[in-house]
Amino acid sequence: MEKDKIKKEMMDLLLEKTKNLFSEKVVDYGTNPRNCGTMEKPDGYAKITGPCGDTVEIFLRVKSGRIEDVRYTTDGCMTSHAAVSAATVMAKGKAPKDCIRINQSAILEHLGGMPEEARHCALLAATTLHRALRNFAVGRRGQP
């Protein structure tokens, strides 16, 4: 219980300090990422290092024509985590062909925007997701 109280106080302090820079959703996804981790024998996989030096990996599990599970890793900062985490949330449960609509602008909209200098994180997330979808579509089993 005490741990939860400390975590909430830390989050409130972080939100106060970053409220002019990042939306509440960016901070939430960046500090409490969804779907973070790896996956054994994914149905689709991609790994891309962006021009900023951040590397993103996305793992897909597809069952009955839907993305049943999606995981990611990144060595990037809070905004990288926020963008990739948002992309995985947006993709989970959808048909792979419908995930093509998950692009940079869709991720930015989902997160309530990002500062100009961080928008490349959403592009890297979308590009990696699309490459993992292509890997699945051509029938290659992901090879992390």
| CATH code for position 17 | 3.90.1010.10
16 within a domain of the structure (yes/no): yes
107 within a domain of the structure (yes/no): yes
Q: Which pLDDT band, with edges at 50, 70 and 90, does 12 fall under? A: confident
Predicted model pTM: 0.85
Distance CA 133, CA 12 (A): 37
At CA 67, angle to CA 63 and CA 71, rounded to 5? 115
Number of domains in the chain: 1
120 within a domain of the structure (yes/no): yes
More confident residue, 21 or 126: 126
64 within a domain of the structure (yes/no): yes
Instruction: List pLDDT tens digits, range 75-110.
Output: 999 999 999 999 999 999 999 999 999 999 999 999
78 within a domain of the structure (yes/no): yes
Instruction: List pLDDT tens digits, range 20-69.
Output: 688 889 989 998 999 999 999 999 999 999 999 999 999 999 999 999 99
144 within a domain of the structure (yes/no): no
Question: CB atoms < 10 A from the CB of 106, how many?
Answer: 16
34 within a domain of the structure (yes/no): yes
For 72, the domain range is: 2-137
Is residue 6 pLDDT above 70, yes or no?
yes
142 within a domain of the structure (yes/no): no
Half-sphere exposure of residue 93: CA atoms within 13 angstroms, side-chain side: 3
What is the model's pLDDT at position 14? 65
